[in-house]
Amino acid sequence: MADTGAVKSENTPFEGGPMDGRVLPVLLGPTGRPPKTYRIPVPDAAGGPPTVLVYRLVPRGHSRMGIQKGWKYEYAAEGEKGVARLKWPWSKPDGSNDSPKDGPADTEG
């Protein structure tokens, strides 16, 4: 395996779902914090599209003085729908928009 140099990781526990009780090394970002969401693709036994398990980052707990102890991932049973995504002006809509695409619905003539 190649030397990763300055890349840092942290052993992060997972709670809930199929990964409950496991601890995995998760790469840290430039600020020293793990990513907000962790997606794990699970291959389908029948050869279909993989199922994606989604975990959300939450604080592990706080000390008596209020200092955060670290991070853990909790299972997001709702999947991708419960995870907030960045909304850039040039991004395509996700299809959950309630506005009509063909124009006003109450046109009377």
* Least confident segment among 6-15, 42-51, 91-100: 91-100
Q: Is the pLDDT of residue 105 over 70?
A: no
- Is residue 12 classed exposed, middle or buried when 0-12, 13-18 and 19+ CB atoms within 10 A define those classes? buried
- Is residue 55 classed exposed, middle or buried when 0-12, 13-18 and 19+ CB atoms within 10 A define those classes? buried
What is the predicted pLDDT for the residue at 79?
72
Pairing of strands 51-62, 68-75: antiparallel
pLDDT band at 2 (very low <50, low <70, confident <90, very high): low
Residue pLDDT, tens place only, 16-61: 999 999 999 999 988 889 999 999 888 988 888 888 899 999 999 8
Q: Is the pLDDT of residue 90 over 90?
A: no
What is the predicted pLDDT for the residue at 68?
85
**Which residue is listed with tokens 């907000």?**
36
User: What are the angstrom distances between the C-alpha of 84 and each of 19, 65, 78, 79, 109?
Assistant: 22, 31, 12, 11, 42
Cα–Cα nearest to 76, from 50, 28, 38: 38
**Do residues 38 and 17 touch, judged by C-beta distance below 8 A?**
no
The H or E element that residue 97 is part of is none
Percentage of the residues of the chain whose pLDDT score is greater than 70: 72
Stated pTM of the model: 0.65
